[in-house]
Structure 1
Amino acid sequence: MTLWIGRECSVLLKKWLGLCVVCSMLILSACSFGSDDNKNKVIKNTPKGDDQKVTLIPQVNSKDYQSIQPKKPSDTRGYITYGVTNRTDIDELEMGLMRLSKDPFSPNDYVFQSGQYLTEKDINGMLYRKSKDTPHGLNPPLGDGKDVREKAENSPKILSYVLEQDYLKKSGKDEYKLGGVSLAISLNQVYADKVMDKEGKTYEVKKDLDINKVKQKGKEYAQEIVKRVRGKKGLGQVPIFVTLYLEAPPESLVPGHYFAKASVSQGSSSIGKWDKVDSEYILFPSSKANKDYKSDADIFNNFKKDVEDYFPNFIGVIGKGFYKGGELDNLTFDISIKFYDKTEVVGFTNYVASLLQNNFPFPGSVPVQIYIKSANQPEAVIVKKPDQDKPFVHIYRQ
């Protein structure tokens, strides 16, 4: 029998960490609002019909969703870390689903709320291996082998998590009702796990999976998951938007990517046509960047050289490009450097900002974020949006 090590303690710790992260994000977000037009509104009635007050948080701009903050947190708040271990994948899984949901659920007509319907029990019921004790598990039973590690390797888990997001529509004055549900089905590209035998001995399992088989299996899982979601109270008639996500390998510096999406019409439990999602993250420098995006890889190397000219032997530069339809859509740089005093931080940050403004080799239509850090802490952030004449620069004061 396969067991998780310290599962109960691990889940509680991860939930606590997730709560801290979310609280920090809310505190930071609150600093962005100050005008009378953006005051919080109190909205009555949650999508489940409870007569409790919730807070409607205004969006930063018209391209983002307004968010409803429920009085009670979701049952699965922070639970994603139980199935998805790479922080970059967690971020992209959540933010990428919100980005893709803007097509069926426009921010002009819908507001966002974290998933309120799927419970830990529901998600566990999907993620477990199928067995006598867990007959509804979607992951395969243990395979053949001389020990539990070999059995796990011969029958790797594919499904790692199911993420729910809810989108609400205005139904009256200060009242909202559920207008649609988005689902992200996260799949392993590499099966990495720790298993324990009956004697308490632990084994590490790691196996690369056949990506084509994973993608096909993901579509099969999606059909069953939609049927289960339809059976939840309150979800029988709403439109469902379902997506498939392929996780990156565990140690990857860039996240995986969404590769398919489908819309399930109101009241239906069948997925018809799957549409391709053509997007991916590329690490600079990397062999994949040199192979698939040679021109951008050369441009990155030129920018890296310009940055390193400031302190040639003490700077590390990594780039992360987000591509949609083969075109660069967003660019992030992480620059690590050893500083001896704060004046060096100021001088170097201004130097990089001047490169971004006057000598940046990438197209000006691409949003850019640059994070500068020393060994132990962040030092500065530089942001340049396409509609800005000059980059925004912030130097941290510790």
Structure 2
Amino acid sequence: MKKWLGLVILSCLLVLASCSSNDDSNNKVIKNNTKGDKEKVTVIPQDNSKDYQTIHSKTPSQTRGYIGYGVTNRKDIDEMEMGLMSLSKEHFSPDKYAFQEGRFLSENEIDGMLGRKSKKTPNGLNPPLGKGSNVQEQAMNSPKELSYVLEQDYLTKESDNKYKLGGISLAISFNSVYQDKVMDSKGQTYDVDVDLDTSKVKADAKNYAQKVVQRVRQNKNLKNVPIFVTLYLEASPDSLVPGYFFDKAYVGQGNSNIGGWQTVNQKYALFPSVSAGDKHKEDEQSFDKFKSDVQNYFDNFIGITGEGYYKDNELSNLTFNINLKFYDKTEIVGFTQYVASLLQSKFPFDRSIPVQIYIKSNEQPESIIVKNPDMDKPFVHVYHQ
């Protein structure tokens, strides 16, 4: 459902961009930091002052969609992209900066960092193959830790019709599970699957980040701009909740050394799960109560999972996914209204927590319910297909 909603939002943005492009007042120019080249773009206004204006170019980024090369879990991709944008507001305020997808680091530059250090790839930041009688053992004995380097650009308005790069943000991601396919000299491929020691990965991450920043500074367009750096630990490839950011740092204009690091205290919990029961017992019990109330509506099985977002150890957002087989549209309408009524009358969580509920039938989206703290009643929408 989230992916479907994302496509809808993206479509809306593209419509805005296409409409705006006919209005000369919205056509802006981006100046390259090191060349005289200029590029016409469209500036898409934000929904509210807390969000960024978006710089839209008809020329796609060199690394558009490339994150999937290093990060395989869609949950992690979404969290890295949106989480990095959110964290970036601390240094690149939406009042002064506009957002643009990363356009300066190329696929070759990113590949150069993600590769293993070897004779063929001497600039690779991941460790060389380890000991072993074959390439599979060698890879497993020396797993890759660094998985991706995500770039986001933040631009400042220079004049009425000109924008220039004001800073970049980086999300440097690391594996908690190393999964790969390796090939021997005869062309035979082998699967690699290794659970990593996350304490070691986090300890190594800062050293990787320092090398990444030094490598980024070699890009002629990024020699002098401020760099906001974040470190992200991926979830396992099949996880139903994303990983999390765990450290951040700011590198000043022209500097290549990361000074002090700050801890980022935010994580996700899956309900129901052993981990949530151990770390968030009261919230797990509240989830069980809500699940029981939802399942009272039908005699047949209703699958329900929850995703809790914790910031500074406080539950800050809730997402529920409900899946069951419906036989007609009126069932969907009635069930959706029933679940919405539970948010009003019997919801066991704190009412100040934003809630999103996605209802599906055979994994197809049927309806959505949203309740924010400032809303008297939940927003309810049933899809008509």
Q: Provide the TM-score with structure 1 as the length reference.
A: 0.91
Q: Write out aligned runs for 1:353-368 (5 A).
A: 353-368=340-355
| Residues 1:326 and 2:318 are matched in the alignment | no
Q: Which residue is 1:243 aligned to?
A: 230
Q: Which residue is 2:269 aligned to?
A: 282
Other structure's SS at 2:343 match: helix
What is the aligned counterpart of 1:395 among 378, 382, 385?
A: 382
**Is the Cα contact below 8 Å between 1:46 and 1:54 reproduced in 2?**
no
| Residues 1:174 and 2:151 are matched in the alignment | no
**Is the Cα contact below 8 Å between 2:323 and 2:363 reproduced in 1?**
no
Letter in 1 for 2:103: Q
> Unpaired runs of 5+ in structure 1?
1-19
Q: Which residue is 2:257 aligned to?
A: 270
**Is the Cα contact below 8 Å between 2:171 and 2:229 reproduced in 1?**
yes
Other structure's SS at 1:53 match: strand
> Alpha-carbon deviation of 1:85?
0.5
Q: Which residue is 1:291 aligned to?
A: 278
Alignment: residue pair count: 376
> Alpha-carbon deviation of 1:30?
5.5
Whole-Å separation in 1 of the counterparts to 2:9 and 2:341:
30
What is the aligned counterpart of 1:41 among 23, 26, 31?
A: 26
Q: Write out aligned runs for 1:64-83 (5 A).
A: 64-83=51-70
Other structure's SS at 1:55 match: strand
Q: Write out aligned runs for 1:132-151 (5 A).
A: 132-151=119-138
Describe the superposition over 1:6-26 as per-residue Cα deviations: whole angstroms up to 9, x where unpaired: xxxxxxxxxxxxxx9987642
Describe the superposition over 1:256-299 as per-residue Cα deviations: whole angstroms up to 9, x where unpaired: 00000000011110001110000001000111111111111111
Q: Which residue is 2:209 aligned to?
A: 222
**Is the Cα contact below 8 Å between 1:183 and 1:243 reproduced in 2?**
yes
Q: Which residue is 2:93 aligned to?
A: 106
Identify which range, 308-317 or 295-304, moves more after superposition: 308-317
Whole-Å separation in 2 of the counterparts to 1:61 and 1:266:
29
| Residues 1:200 and 2:187 are matched in the alignment | yes
> Alpha-carbon deviation of 1:317?
0.7
Describe the superposition over 1:196-232 as per-residue Cα deviations: whole angstroms up to 9, x where unpaired: 2122222111111111111121111110111111121
**Is the Cα contact below 8 Å between 2:183 and 2:190 reproduced in 1?**
yes
Whole-Å separation in 2 of the counterparts to 1:63 and 1:285:
33
Letter in 2 for 1:377: Q
Describe the superposition over 1:97-120 as per-residue Cα deviations: whole angstroms up to 9, x where unpaired: 001101111111111000111000
- Percent identical residues: 61
Q: Which residue is 2:80 aligned to?
A: 93
Q: Which residue is 1:27 aligned to?
A: 11
Q: Write out aligned runs for 1:159-170 (5 A).
A: 159-170=146-157
Change (3 A) 1:283 1:146: same
Whole-Å separation in 1 of the counterparts to 2:137 and 2:9:
42
Describe the superposition over 1:38-70 as per-residue Cα deviations: whole angstroms up to 9, x where unpaired: x88211124455322101111112111111012
**Is the Cα contact below 8 Å between 2:178 and 2:195 reproduced in 1?**
yes
**Is the Cα contact below 8 Å between 1:46 and 1:70 reproduced in 2?**
no
Letter in 1 for 2:125: L
Letter in 1 for 2:51: D
Letter in 1 for 2:149: V
Letter in 1 for 2:297: Y
Letter in 2 for 1:298: Q
| Residues 1:157 and 2:130 are matched in the alignment | no
Change (3 A) 1:47 1:23: farther
Other structure's SS at 2:222 match: coil
Whole-Å separation in 2 of the counterparts to 1:254 and 1:46:
39
> Alpha-carbon deviation of 1:357?
2.0
Letter in 2 for 1:100: L
Q: Write out aligned runs for 1:247-262 (5 A).
A: 247-262=234-249
Letter in 2 for 1:297: E
What is the aligned counterpart of 2:297 among 283, 286, 310?
A: 310
Describe the superposition over 1:303-344 as per-residue Cα deviations: whole angstroms up to 9, x where unpaired: 111100001432011000110000011110000011111110
Whole-Å separation in 2 of the counterparts to 1:341 and 1:384:
26
> Alpha-carbon deviation of 1:387?
0.9
How well do the aligned residues superpose, as a CA RMSD in angstroms? 2.0
Whole-Å separation in 2 of the counterparts to 1:174 and 1:361:
51
**Is the Cα contact below 8 Å between 2:179 and 2:192 reproduced in 1?**
yes
> Alpha-carbon deviation of 1:31?
6.9
**Is the Cα contact below 8 Å between 1:75 and 1:119 reproduced in 2?**
yes
Change (3 A) 1:142 1:24: farther
Whole-Å separation in 1 of the counterparts to 2:150 and 2:296:
44
Whole-Å separation in 2 of the counterparts to 1:32 and 1:361:
40
> Unpaired runs of 5+ in structure 2?
none
